[in-house]
Amino acid sequence: MSPATITSDLPAAQQPNWPDRAVLDDAVAQLATYPPLVFAGECDNLRDRMAAASIGEAFVLQGGDCAETFVHATADNIRDRIKTVLQMAAVLTYGAGMPVIKMGRMAGQFAKPRSKDTETRDGVTLPAYRGDMVNDFAFTPESRNPDPGRLLRGYHTSAATLNLVRAFTQGGFADLRGVHDWNVGFVSNSANRRYEGLAHEIDKAMRFMAACGVDFEAMRATEFWSAHEALLLDYERPMTRVDSRTGDLYDTSGHFLWIGERTRQIDHAHLDFVSRIRNPIGMKVSDKADPDELLRIIDLLDPHREPGRLTFITRMGSGKIRDAMPSIVEKVRDSGAIVTWICDPMHGNTFESASGFKTRDFDDVVDEVRGFFEVHRSLGTVPGGLHIELTGNDVTECLGGAERILDADLNKRYESVCDPRLNHQQSLELAFLTAEMLSQ
């Protein structure tokens, strides 16, 4: 794979104000010489899997931090996040009766769009934190100064993360029997009695498979894909390479890239960039989306109507999804376009709690997923998957769930540097509840 040169004069929203152009150019030039993190053939395989999800023959689970950080990219944290996604996927596989496409918001989720360019605390105003690949979270002028060296550290941290992801998911950690045992442990906690019935059914299915002589050894490994928001063009462009097999361009920073709600202007650089690469791509769609504009975006990103190429990740809010989503999905369906619909029940449900924490209520998250299924079922379209901000740790960032996290608990273990994540327990609960919706 040789380096590709993608440039554009189009405006790009949400880019850092790098202080020194020469230092940036040097970092970008170095990135262009680094080995790809993923390969073109892998991206093609994922596109095929996503095509199955678009017609209801697979279900997608994307999960991970809102913002990964360099210091938290430890073996334990990565392991526990993978474990959470694998546990959720096992439950969803049973509920859906379909393969689950497992994807981490991982190994590249280091850049964040912000609603304001600056942050003010106690009368001091500094540049906003834009993710570890740009600046540091600490509220000092030095930390908040954008540093192009962070692009390189982002690459290396992504490489190390992906290496561990590949090792865990190929080396026996993903063994279905082990994952199932973890889930048995989860429902043995008295707070989770509600999910015992479904867990018991899965247990019976496992014993049935064993009795039939199913080859469990073949289920020791699983595919696990990397995904992140393609936000920072100074990282994504130099990671884009020419596929030696076909001459096509692939962004080799991750298998699946998505464009966020704030950077999806049709005449701007981000959509232009992803229109040129062959990776499967996603785009966030809020309740404010204009259906006619979405059709123009589909023409730009998926002119050949290739199944699996384009995913719309809806993020409407639990109070809006039932009103806002039908006309959007209908219009896309009637145009003959093929998109995979995924529900992000996080970003439309964020609010500030009385004690001042940015949070989400577990019940709102569940209700948005419920609304997502209701709308797709009423239109005869396909609910293709979930996109969740989660961690494998026992943080207290989102309210509710069986552990009943209250506003007063949020300060106990609030560790996210950006949006609040479901903790391990809440993530599994969401998987059990979604599995029930899938099997209805």
Name the 3-class secondary structure at 21: helix
- Minimum CB separation of residue 19 from Mn ion in Å reads 26
Interaction of residue 113 with ligand PEP, rule CB under 6 A: yes
CB of 87 closer than 8 Å to CB of 428: yes
- Alpha-carbon span 321 to 174, nearest angstrom: 34
Could you tell me the CA-to-CA distances from 351 to 208, 380, 398 in Å, in that order? 45, 32, 10
Binding mask 408-437 for ligand PEP (x = CB under 6 A): -----------x------------------
Positions in 63-92 near ligand PEP (CB under 6 A): 66
Based on CB atoms, which residue is closest to Mn ion, 54 or 158? Answer: 158
Residue 113 interacts, among Mn ion, ligand PEP, none and using kind-specific CB cut-offs from 5 to 8 Å, with: ligand PEP
- Minimum CB separation of residue 186 from Mn ion in Å reads 25
Residue 301 interacts, among ligand PEP, Mn ion, none and using kind-specific CB cut-offs from 5 to 8 Å, with: none
Interaction of residue 261 with ligand PEP, rule CB under 6 A: yes
- Minimum CB separation of residue 229 from ligand PEP in Å reads 6
> Which alpha helices (H) appear in 302-423, and where do they start and end?
321-334, 362-379
Which stretch, 50-58, 258-266, 334-342, 370-378, contacts ligand PEP (CB under 6 A)? 258-266
Positions in 310-369 near ligand PEP (CB under 6 A): 315, 347
Picking from 328, 312, 310, 330, the residue whose alpha carbon sits closest to that of residue 320 is 328
- Alpha-carbon span 419 to 345, nearest angstrom: 13
- Alpha-carbon span 346 to 318, nearest angstrom: 9
Residue 270 interacts, among ligand PEP, Mn ion, none and using kind-specific CB cut-offs from 5 to 8 Å, with: none
Which residues on neighbouring strands pair with residue 343, listed in sequence order? 314, 386
Question: What does the block give as tokens for 357?
Answer: 């924490």
Based on CB atoms, which residue is closest to Mn ion, 148 or 385? Answer: 385
Interaction of residue 374 with ligand PEP, rule CB under 6 A: no
Positions in 37-56 near ligand PEP (CB under 6 A): none
Based on CB atoms, which residue is closest to ligand PEP, 255 or 347? Answer: 347
Which stretch, 94-102, 207-215, 254-262, 302-310, contacts ligand PEP (CB under 6 A)? 254-262
Annotated binding site for Mn(2+): 66, 347, 389, 419
Interaction of residue 260 with ligand PEP, rule CB under 6 A: yes
Based on CB atoms, which residue is closest to ligand PEP, 94 or 357? Answer: 357
How wide is the angle at C-alpha 140 spanned by C-alphas 135 and 143, nearest 5°?
25
CB of 164 closer than 8 Å to CB of 78: yes
- Minimum CB separation of residue 289 from ligand PEP in Å reads 11
Q: Which residues contact 168 (CB under 8 A, 6 or more apart)?
A: 78, 79, 82, 174, 224
Residue least distant from ligand PEP (Cβ)? 260
Annotated binding site: 66, 105, 261-262, 284, 315, 347, 389, 419
Residue 180 interacts, among ligand PEP, Mn ion, none and using kind-specific CB cut-offs from 5 to 8 Å, with: none
Picking from 218, 277, 287, 270, the residue whose alpha carbon sits closest to that of residue 247 is 277
Binding site for Mn ion (CB under 5 A): 66, 419
Which residues on neighbouring strands pair with residue 351, listed in sequence order? 359
Based on CB atoms, which residue is closest to ligand PEP, 113 or 127? Answer: 113
CB of 109 closer than 8 Å to CB of 68: yes
Strands of the 249-251 sheet, one edge to the other: 2-3, 240-242, 249-251
Pairing relation of β-strands 2-3 and 240-242? antiparallel
Which of 228, 255, 284, 370 binds ligand PEP (CB under 6 A)? It is 284
Task: Give contact residues for ligand PEP (rule: CB under 6 A).
Answer: 66, 113, 229, 260-262, 284, 315, 347, 419
